Amino acid sequence: PPRVTAARRSCARAPVTQRSRVPPVCGQAPAPGATVSTMATAQVALTSAAGVVALLEEPAPALKAHALKQLNVLVDVHWSEVSACVTELEALYEDDEFEERELAALVASKVFYHLGELDDSLQYALCAGALFDINSSSEYVQTIVSKMIDTYIVERNAAEPKEIDPKLVAIVESMLERCMADGRTEHAIGLALEARRLDKLDEAVKRSADGAAALAYAVRVTHRLVSSKAFRLEALRKLVSLYEGVDEPDFIAVCEILMFLDDPAKVADILVGLIKAGGDKSLMAYQICFDLVDNQRQRFLLEVSGKLPKAKEEKKPEAAPLLRGDGAGEADGNGAEAADAAAPAEAAGEGDAMETDEAAEGGADSEAAEADDGQDLPVLVCTSSVARGVDFGRVGLVVQAEMAATAEDFLHRAGRTARAGAPGSVVSLHGAGDELIVGALRELLDAGLPVEAAFSRKRLLRKRFR
């Protein structure tokens, strides 16, 4: 028709830059003289990648390189078609004379990624070298980088050490450098600890804007994240050395770490240094001591105490003995394991009818009752604050000047004596208001039953017998 003829003539007169050959579709050659606009060509290219895949079979290296560049763009959409030529991609990478072999490895890595073969995808991503951009935000890159980090951590934590691919090491170190450069110190510390890279842990803490906060975070992560005891101790020693390089170290945290490291000598040195510094430093020394006591590690406390310098003893005038070895009453024995120290019998209040109960566990008499007349005995007058956690050694007699309010307090006080099979006695002073309690105790002792059966650990003794 005339209109079609005019359109063809107009197209023929168009500039060459606006005309292009139609690329082959599905391996078929275009008709001779066929033309199409640039926009139409783009639309055909997005429809299928078969024509580009066919170029990989051409003998010319330039055509293969051109095809790889196109496939690198199209593979995320047309990966199912590109997967048919994965063998050709592997062959191109293995060809040492092919200049674009790294590009072939990158395209192969993307194909394996879409096929779900992450191990193969990781290996070809490593072979791609600098073409694999770890800074890309694509899902492919993020997934493969995570896989690389996990693989590196597993190989670093293997029971039998083996050589790790230098390319994998380079990528993980690049990620660590990126975290430290971006100020993500916590990410760098966590990755360094998981990968057992103490050199990177040292670098991350030193490059941090807040060294104290970074060290505190590293200590927490070390206790929670590191499962290997040997590496945990090694990491804690590293953190102690890092704390020592800070202008104002957190000595409380340092002593806590040293307690886990079982290093009492260093704790003692820190305490001595803080006491000598005076002021707030001495208060910090007391706080450290309180924290150490709260951990209830008696052996460690004794070792720290043994490392401290001995205080100079001042001569004091001799005082009259508070209690003599002739004994002050009959004993009330029990088998408890914790209690209070002794108190003098004179502490009983006036006006109350005071008496003592007697019962010796296993028929053993106290060392105080067996002492010769005139022999002086050491006496410690104290409150219930030392009824637990303190072992005075050979305590032969415990005197309760006031009846305990709860069964738990009674047992802990009485348990200061008769420890570890040693003989001991307990003297409990009571008044008119304690008649019910005393009666219950006597019934149990006469029947050979344990003393704690008369008490309620949750209620006061007096409420028990109302």
Task: Determine the pLDDT at residue 238.
Answer: 93
Q: Minimal CA–CA distance to 193: which of 144, 167, 156?
A: 156
218: closest CA among 249, 195, 185? 185
pLDDT of amino acid 318: 57
Please provide residue 397's backbone torsions phi and psi, each rounded to the nearest 5 degrees.
Answer: -145, 130
Q: Is 398 exposed, middle or buried (0-12, 13-18, 19+ CB in 10 A)?
A: buried
The C-alpha angle 411, 385, 336, rounded to 5 degrees, equals: 15
Q: Is the pLDDT of residue 374 over 60?
A: no
**Range list of H helices, 157-279:** 166-181, 185-194, 198-206, 211-225, 229-244, 251-260, 264-277
The 10 Å CB-count burial string (b at 16+, else e) for 302-321 is ebbeeeeeeeeeeeeeeeee
Question: What per-residue confidence (pLDDT) applies to 296?
Answer: 62
Measure the CA–CA gap between 38 and 157, rounded to whole angstroms: 55
Work out the number of other CB atoms within 10 angstroms of the CB of residue 181: 10
The residue type found at 458 is: K
What share of the chain has pLDDT > 90, as a percent? 33
- Closest by CA to 155, choosing from 142, 167, 143, is 167
Higher pLDDT, 4 or 449: 449
Q: Could you report the per-residue pLDDT of 170-179, keeping only the tens digit for each?
A: 999 999 999 9
> What type of residue is 18?
Q
Mean pLDDT computed over every residue of the chain: 75
Report which of 135, 63, 144, 134 is spatially closest to residue 108, judged by C-alpha positions: 144
Flag whether pLDDT at 363 surpasses 70: no
Least-confidence region, from 146-160, 292-306, 349-363, 372-386: 349-363
Residues 235-290 have pLDDT tens digits of 999 999 999 888 788 888 899 899 889 899 999 999 999 998 888 888 999 999 88
The mean pLDDT of 320-347, rounded to a whole number, is 40
Q: Is the pTM of this model over 0.75?
A: no
Kindly state the tokens that stand for 250. 């957190």
Query: Which is more confident, 456 or 115?
Result: 115
DSSP per-residue letters across 163-192: PPPHHHHHHHHHHHHHHHHTT-HHHHHHHH
pLDDT surpasses 60 at 340: no
Q: What is the mean pLDDT of residues 308-315?
A: 71
The residue-averaged pLDDT of 224-242 equals 90
Inter-residue contact 323 to 380 (CB < 8 Å): no
Which pLDDT value is given to residue 400?
85
Instruction: Please identify which residue in the block is written with the tokens 């199209």.
Output: 74
125 has pLDDT over 90: yes
Q: Which residue has the higher pLDDT, 192 or 333?
A: 192
Rounded distance, CA 207 to CA 184, Å? Answer: 11
pLDDT value at residue 426: 86
> Taking a C-beta distance cutoff of 8 angstroms, is the pair 38, 25 a contact?
no
